[in-house]
């Protein structure tokens, strides 16, 4: 029975990895019958977000995206103008309050709809700016608190060292993760997030947006949050990562039936995906398009499922997360891939006292990835660690802790 469950999970993983391919093929080969295509269909064909395209056309982001462009009074030339606007990141409705605003909608009605769309869009943008500001202000506060918890708060009580089994109370961690999902996820929408920061920076370099330095600044913000604490933003600040972490903690799948993915293969897959992203984003094979747009589960937090592949990825992540630790983070996320290269530079992280360690393997068994095992064996480039604190609760001789990397404990005698 155990083997059957493992086989089913492996088949599910293969499906998860391959499911975006039909959407990619469709995006590259779909016919361009503009007047008859729906707004969602046009967005899929040109691989842009339907909400952004709606704004560029002078419509509300909440417009019914399954109406045809003809019904919305949008012609081929209007679409071309809007696509240029989206391509350089200028989606203000004034660029799309064009000569055909009332076309197909009936004169004054069309103009009225356009004005309503403009007001709605401006209101949406203003609210998004406020939400973004709150996120950027609160992330350092949240992660500063989590860093204190990992360094001291979860280890001591009233100045006394807690017994190992009472350290880093799981309930406190889960409450924090739930807060992250609710505030940085559903309350704030699908952006900002670490993955978006990396993707948008390279989109800016490829000409999708103007002012690449702004996007570089956002990327550096998340990079610093990864360096202060080993992948701290991934482990405790990312809403999608937090959601997957909570699902993994649910007792839906027995521990022995869970899959631990080999790091070398997950890293290889993400490297190939990121390479493909660069090739298509910079248009090395023709039209530019963004690979990650079609497989972005952060859309869940904004309830935006314009592409079938996005909905499929969200469902796959939710179904796999109880059995596979952070499946999207390990298999797809480009920021997680990028942040691994900075783990060596992180200021704080897991430390092992190899003189005290008795080699019982408790930390390796508790770790949902290969991070603890690689650190025990002294690998030069160990598997990624999400600072989840599981290993900190199980060591019977207190040989492992979370602390400053510049004050490393004893080194392993191996490689």
pLDDT recorded at residue 14: 55
Beta carbons of 196 and 240 less than 8 angstroms apart: no
Mean local confidence (pLDDT), 156-171 = 91
Q: How is residue 244 written in tokens? A: 């997957």
pLDDT recorded at residue 91: 45
Give pTM, 2 decimals: 0.78
Is residue 341's pLDDT more than 80?
yes
324: helix, coil or strand?
Answer: strand
What's the rounded Cα separation, in Å, for the pair 48 and 208? Answer: 11
Q: What is the mean pLDDT of the chain?
A: 84
What's the rounded Cα separation, in Å, for the pair 241 and 161? Answer: 30
pLDDT recorded at residue 371: 98
Beta carbons of 241 and 147 less than 8 angstroms apart: no
Beta carbons of 376 and 412 less than 8 angstroms apart: yes
Is 56 exposed, middle or buried (CB count within 10 Å of its CB: 0-12, 13-18, 19+)?
buried
What are the structural domain ranges in the chain?
2-123, 154-339
Mean local confidence (pLDDT), 166-176 = 95
Residue-wise pLDDT for 83-105, tens only, equals: 877 765 444 433 333 434 433 33
**Confidence band (pLDDT; 50, 70, 90) for 6?**
low
**Confidence band (pLDDT; 50, 70, 90) for 256?**
confident
pLDDT recorded at residue 58: 85
Least trusted range by pLDDT, from 28-32, 242-246, 260-264, 287-291? 28-32
């Amino acid at each position: 029975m155990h083997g059957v469950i493992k086989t089913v999970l492996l088949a599910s993983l293969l499906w998860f990895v391959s499911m975006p391919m039909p959407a990619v093929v469709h995006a590259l080969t779909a016919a361009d019958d503009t007047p008859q295509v729906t707004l969602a269909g046009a967005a899929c064909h040109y691989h842009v977000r339907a909400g952004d395209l709606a704004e560029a056309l002078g419509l509300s982001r909440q417009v019914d995206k399954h109406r045809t462009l003809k019904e919305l009074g949008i012609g081929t030339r209007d679409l071309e103008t809007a696509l240029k606007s989206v391509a350089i990141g200028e989606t203000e409705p004034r660029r799309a309050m064009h000569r055909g605003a009332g076309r197909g909608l009936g004169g004054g009605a069309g103009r009225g709809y356009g004005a309503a769309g403009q007001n709605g869009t401006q209101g949406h943008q203003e609210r998004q700016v406020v939400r973004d500001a709150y996120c950027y202000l609160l992330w350092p506060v949240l992660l500063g608190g989590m860093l204190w918890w990992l360094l001291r708060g979860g280890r001591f009580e009233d100045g006394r060292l807690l017994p190992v089994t009472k350290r880093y109370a799981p309930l406190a961690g889960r409450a924090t993760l739930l807060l992250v999902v609710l505030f940085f996820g559903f309350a704030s929408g699908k952006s900002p997030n670490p993955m978006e920061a990396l993707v948008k920076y390279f989109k800016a370099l490829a000409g999708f947006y103007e002012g690449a330095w702004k996007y570089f600044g956002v990327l550096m913000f998340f990079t610093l949050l990864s360096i202060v604490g080993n992948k701290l933003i991934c482990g405790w600040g990312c809403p999608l990562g937090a959601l997957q972490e909570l699902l993994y903690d649910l007792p839906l799948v027995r521990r022995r039936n869970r899959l631990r993915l080999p790091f070398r293969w997950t890293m290889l897959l993400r490297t190939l995906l990121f390479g493909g992203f660069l090739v298509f984003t910079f248009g090395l094979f023709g039209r530019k398009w963004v690979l990650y747009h079609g497989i972005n589960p952060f859309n869940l937090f904004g309830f935006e499922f314009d592409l079938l592949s996005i909905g499929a990825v969200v469902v796959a992540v939710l179904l796999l997360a109880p059995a596979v630790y952070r499946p999207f983070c390990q298999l797809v996320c480009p920021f997680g891939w990028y942040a691994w290269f900075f783990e060596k530079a992180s200021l704080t992280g897991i430390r092992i006292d190899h003189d005290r360690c008795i080699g019982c393997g408790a930390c390796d068994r508790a770790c949902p990835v290969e991070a603890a095992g690689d650190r025990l064996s002294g690998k030069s480039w160990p598997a990624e660690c999400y600072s989840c604190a599981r290993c900190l609760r199980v060591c019977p001789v207190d040989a492992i802790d979370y602390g400053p990397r510049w004050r490393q404990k004893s080194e392993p005698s191996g490689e």
